Structure 1
């Protein structure tokens, strides 16, 4: 299925994370498209005379809302079957350590991280599976080296897990704090009250919080007005990625909270600190209790 790179008219990208997993995209099953109903890679044909580099950057943004620098050409494959024209595909590689559940799904059904062993049980797009196996063969996580002696520096475990970092805004006004009611169909904590929050991307935590405050609620916050007041280290369940939830108190801000992302939050409300609502995201309640008590750190879900 390998093809001549010079004949490629489409582009796709293999994205890996620090756990050695691959990001897959579940394609629509009942549309006249290439490889319907399969797990595949983000990608598509070039349009309007754009280069393949430009095409894969556009497809990443359209399908998953991602803008990733440093994508590298890896191999060229050939796609075959119904609804395939000019089936030579340039496959790129890149790294991203985000939460697949949080990606906006511009096309298809969903995104998920999988390891190569699990892919053997999935309905995979043939050319995408071949490209991933080739990549894994070249870049798979090596076995840890044995220690030569008691003073040797320990090798990192091949299954070591990096923690997801969340940035949270704690606002207090007249003895009340700002919470948002999550949309019933939100990917996380539907119909629960939660602090204004978001995942930290390729940015500082304060920068992430400034961005999230503007995107979610139309609030203007300056990085220098943010002070870390509590950290909650959360393990949602035994198979989950650990999460480090950082809560920052804004000593000043401008604007009144407004619903800017109605698919995630349906309303904002100021709640009295001694009368917090139910249901509420548990770690957010833990953080607020910790802030009021002057504690800097809490843990949830760890044995």
Structure 2
């Protein structure tokens, strides 16, 4: 049975740059993505977003704002609804907590995003402007 999965992505600003990681898993391999992951059964999307950021980067997110959502069907046949949030407050230093899943984390200006981007981010950028609010 086909199933739609729910993912979260968190846009974290540092000055005028956003945090992106280079994915290593089969899903989106070598593509750049915001911190994020799956919403697990029983979690709120906000809790999942905060949990995923800490698990991946060691950053502690305080307040989140809902930003946008995308719907993407991947070549693999997977269908994801991705809920994007903006971290209004966060603390800590970026540490690559899952080096088996992410090659590196780095900060990029919206005008100089690395390529290739993860499909939900490509869709997001077609629908909204990425700018610090």
The TM-score bracket by the shorter chain reads 0.7 to 0.9
Question: 2:30 matched to 1:191?
Answer: yes
What secondary structure does 1:248 align onto? strand
Q: 1:209 to 1:293 in 2, by over 3 A?
A: closer
Normalised TM-score (structure 2): 0.87
1:247 paired to 2:84? yes
Unaligned runs of 5+ in 1: 1-18, 20-160, 295-303
* Contact 1:219-1:256 within 8 A present in 2 as well: yes
Kept after mapping to 1: 8 A contact 2:72/2:119: no
Q: Is the 2:110–2:130 Cα contact (8 Å) retained in structure 1? A: no
Cα offset, 1:269, TM superposition = 0.5
Gaps of at least 5 residues in structure 2 are none
Instruction: Please say which structure displays the higher CA radius of gyration.
Output: 1
Q: Residue by residue, what CA displacement relative to the aligned partner does 1:115-172 show, whole Å, maximum 9, x if unpaired?
A: xxxxxxxxxxxxxxxxxxxxxxxxxxxxxxxxxxxxxxxxxxxxxx542000111112
From the two aligned structures, give the one with the greater strand fraction.
2
Partner residue in 1 for 2:17: 176
Q: Is the contact between residue 58 and residue 93 of structure 2 (CA under 8 Å) also seen in structure 1?
A: yes
Greater length-normalized contact order (CA 8 Å, ≥ 6 residues apart): 2
Alignment correspondent of 2:66: 228
Query: Helix, strand or coil: the match of 2:104?
Result: strand
Q: Distance in 2 between matches of 1:176 and 1:289?
A: 19
- TM (normalized to structure 1)? 0.40
How large is the Cα RMSD of the aligned pairs?
1.9
Q: Is the 8 A contact 1:170 1:178 kept in 2?
A: yes
The size of the alignment, in residue pairs, is 130
